[in-house]
Copies of this chain bind each other. A is one copy, B any other.
């Protein structure tokens, strides 16, 4: 079917295809190996278990979602501006995925629920970016002298409704952007240097 060497990369690609096509409930390791034209035993030579394979798929997906955010966090410029852009990017990206292809989004959500460790690592990275952005803002005199970690937690918690997938069903509301903007104004009022 395909003579190229069987690599984790190729398996992940096939696994993503199969998950997209059949959904998380029906997709099996046998399906993945069938798509690759190999026996399912071969897949197990690269991934120790079905769960590990799914974790890797989630990891790949999260890496793709996270890279624009990492880029913004690493840029130069006003921290306040970048902070806002970071959130806009986070929220717009999730919303696009959730509303653009709800079925696929639901698939990834279901996988993510089983891949707690992987998701935790992703959130930790995002949280560190947030903390850095706030610390930079404090250092530049843009923000009040808050504790960056606590402030990051506050901003993350306060914006939960707008980025946590548990609230995805609310993201289609027409007033959602206004609601975020109102919230953001209040948060910045509390955070901005006096």
Contacts and interface: CB of A to CB of B under 8 A. Distances in A.
Contacts of A186: 151, 154, 158, 187, 190-191
* Of A166, A185, A186, A191, most B-chain CB atoms within 10 Å: A186
A160 B167 contact: yes
A64 to B, nearest CB: 25
A154 B167 contact: no
A154 B179 contact: yes
A27 to B, nearest CB: 26
Interface in A127-184: 150-151, 153-154, 157-162, 164, 166-167, 179, 182-183
B166 A153 contact: no
Interface of A: 150-151, 153-154, 157-162, 164, 166-167, 179, 182-183, 185-187, 189-191
A159 B187 CA distance: 12
Copies of this chain per assembly = 2
27 contacts: A150-B182, A151-B182, A151-B186, A154-B179, A154-B182, A154-B186, A157-B158, A157-B161, A157-B162, A157-B179, A157-B183, A158-B159, A158-B183, A158-B187, A160-B160, A160-B161, A160-B167, A161-B164, A164-B166, A164-B167, A166-B166, A166-B167, A185-B190, A186-B190, A187-B190, A189-B189, A189-B190
A46 B59 CA distance: 53
A33 B125 CA distance: 54
A166 B169 CA distance: 12
Contacts of A190: 185-187, 189-190
A184 to B, nearest CB: 9
A153 B182 contact: yes
